[in-house]
Amino acid sequence: MVASSTPDVADAASIAPRHLVLLVLMNLVWGLNLIASKIGVAQFPPILFTALRFGSLAIFLLPLLKIHRGQMGNLFLAAMLTGPAAFSLLFLGVYYAEDAATVAIASQMGVPISTLLSIWLLGETIRWRRTLGITLAFGGMVIISFDPRVFAYWEGLALVVASTFFASLGLIFVKRLHNIKALELQSWIAVAGGSTLMLLSLLFEQGQWQAIQAADWKAWSALAFTTLMSSLLAHTAWYYLVGKYPVTSLSPITLLSPLFGIFFGVTLLDDQLTSRMLLGGAVTLIGVFIVVLREKRLVDTGT
């Protein structure tokens, strides 16, 4: 398991106030990261923007890159799926979708998809509560997709959901890793992502150099934010908290991330939310919340 450690807090389910503040700030950064990404892909080709993000991150994490004999196959698949595969689809989805708010909701589909993959690949069984949550999550996305405004860019939303599938699939391989620190994994993701995505950008996109020359301070600031604040600081904070608390105790609070994304999408990017978007978003997030809470209960009670 990556970065696994025994929680050193007496009551792991009770998060210390300072760590709760850190968790909220981390989700605030992730909510703003969606806005920064939207600004970035407006001036950079989306795959190029993703490649620049991972390439910049690799500069900071390159000293942590290590060979782990006997695990490189799983490490490679974990890095490629959670890195270039997931993020290229995510940023393509951000590029094609008009509203950051709907992207924030769609990005939460990783929770029910992870559960479905656990059933398929790991033989896990679920009961009616999680089945209800998964059904609500997908049902909410259907409601959103048939909104006339969203239907015009349904491909973008589909790409975001596809990105959560590859990220969830990558986590299956992450769980097979042993004695690899989280930032070591992130260094492999950064190196693999930067090089692979740059090649994909050269193959499938055009005007990269022109975009780099024409990009203004907003685009470069967006790139810096996604690299430093989101990938480096927020993810480091997440790994720090995972080392102190069970993931199931932290996961419910991470639902603040899409709420921040929706808020900033409306206030900063003037996203227009219709009643159908709001209804579908509420149904999806309720479904995700049910899955997360049920998984926490299963861990806490051992049932």
CA distances from 116 to 125, 237, 255 (A): 10, 28, 19
Q: What is the pLDDT of residue 243?
A: 66
Q: What is the pLDDT of residue 293?
A: 77
Question: For 122-148, what is the mean pLDDT?
Answer: 86
Distance of CA 112 to the CA centre of its chain: 13
- The string of pLDDT tens digits covering residues 6-48 is 344 334 447 788 888 999 999 999 999 999 999 999 999 999 9
Q: Please list, in sequence order, all residues whose beta carbon lies within 8 angstroms of the beta carbon of residue 296, skipping any fewer than 6 positions away.
A: 246, 248, 249, 251, 252
Burial of 110 (0-12, 13-18, 19+ CB in 10 A): buried
Residue 213 to residues 207, 210, 219, 220, Cα–Cα distance (Å): 10, 5, 11, 11
What is the model's pLDDT at position 9? 38
Exposure string of 44-70, with b = 16+ CB inside 10 Å and e = fewer, is bbbbbbbbbbbbbbbebbeeeeeeeee
Hey, what amino acid is at 225? F
What band does 165 get if pLDDT is binned at 50, 70 and 90?
A: very high
- At 172-206, the pLDDT tens digits run 888 788 888 878 888 898 998 899 999 999 999 99
81 DSSP 8-state letter: I
pLDDT at 1 over 70: no
Instruction: Tell me the pLDDT tens digit for each residue of 50-83.
Output: 999 999 999 989 898 888 888 898 889 988 998 8
pLDDT in tens, 200-258: 999 999 999 999 999 999 999 999 999 999 988 888 788 778 767 766 677 778 888 88
Is the full-model pTM beyond 0.85?
A: no
pLDDT at position 121, please? 77
Q: Are 5 and 243 in contact (CB under 8 A)?
A: yes
Predicted confidence at residue 10, as pLDDT, reads 35
- 267 vs 181, more confident: 267
